[in-house]
Amino acid sequence: MAEFIESLREHLRREVSDIHGINIDEVDHTLQRVLALVAGGAASRFAWLSMLVSDHLVPVAAVGLDPTGVTAADAPEWEVVRTGKPIRVHHLSELDTEAARSMVQGPHRMCSLAAYPVFTVFQQSTIGVLVVAHDRPRTYPRMQQRVIHDGVRVIEDVLSLRTESIRDPLTGCYNRRHFDRQMQNEWRRANRDHLPLSCAIIDVDHFKRFNDTAGHAEGDQVLRQIGQALASRTRRAGDLVCRYGGEEFGVILPNTPGDAAVALMDELRRAVQDMEIEHPALEGAPVSISVGVATATSFEEVLRNDAEYYMEQADQALYRAKDGGRNRVFAAWEQGAEEQSASA
């Protein structure tokens, strides 16, 4: 059993590294020290940090206890993830959930807790939760709240230092190096779990003409706005948006079939169009994007091809979208079919 638990813990830490680009082993000592200081400052026996991995919360560091596995679906931490706001519970018996009862009746006999969201630097989305807990009732007065809040800020700084090398400094999206590595990771995961995998390449239409007319500074601002819009509309922690090169963005959508991928990409296309960024070289028409999508839909396809094959398919689909008039989504499997209409 001990070997199984250790294997599970190692697997989950690798998942955190794959999703967030953070090697937890490299920051483990720092996180432990921060959690110890937070627990002491909040007069609590326990503290732990959990991070989002796809649809799970995974404990990655702790003091006072040794958590394993993933956080229960009805645990108090999920309220923090859903709202992006901290919660404080004077007595866990107030919560009528199985997870709360397990905390009260478990080996640590927890009674009270406070949980605070941990955010990304660029997207300001919740990537984890810092929790302090005690085996006696705690009200967590303002001074203790400040200690926890300061601990969150330190953890965010520690994690951001580890993620700076995988971010594009202009758009805040992931960079091409991380995209290529993550594409291989998701390919292996799709192979292992027999799940579909979709990818897309997005191109800003007539971007050279925009730069030639408005200047590179204005062009950079447009790329920044579009990158933020794309990243903010991907729904799951496993979805990834990167600046693929120049005015191109790449998207990875794990466990996403083709029709769902096309629907999401068309939603992104419409979102960019609805931003109504005036294109100075197109008589005031809004800036738009074209998208090519490719999907490995079956286990057999995953075995027969590789990640590079589907990126090439997405790239070819992108060129067909541009040849078809731009401001549209084209799927690689639509050989000879008409493009997805881009009519607003």
3-state class (DSSP) for residue 291: strand
Burial class of residue 1 (count of CB atoms within 10 Å of its CB; 0-12, 13-18, 19+): exposed
Burial class (CB in 10 A: 0-12, 13-18, 19+), 279: buried
The gap between the terminal CA atoms of the chain, to the nearest Å, is: 57
Which residue of the set 10, 247, 334, 339 is catalytic?
247
Q: How far apart are CA 183 and CA 250, in angstroms?
A: 10
3 classed as catalytic: no
Q: How far apart are CA 78 and CA 121, in angstroms?
A: 20
Helix (H, G, I), strand (E, B) or coil at 257: coil
Helix ranges restricted to H, the chain: 2-20, 24-41, 77-83, 98-105, 142-163, 176-193, 207-214, 216-233, 258-274, 299-304, 307-323
Active site residue ranges: 247
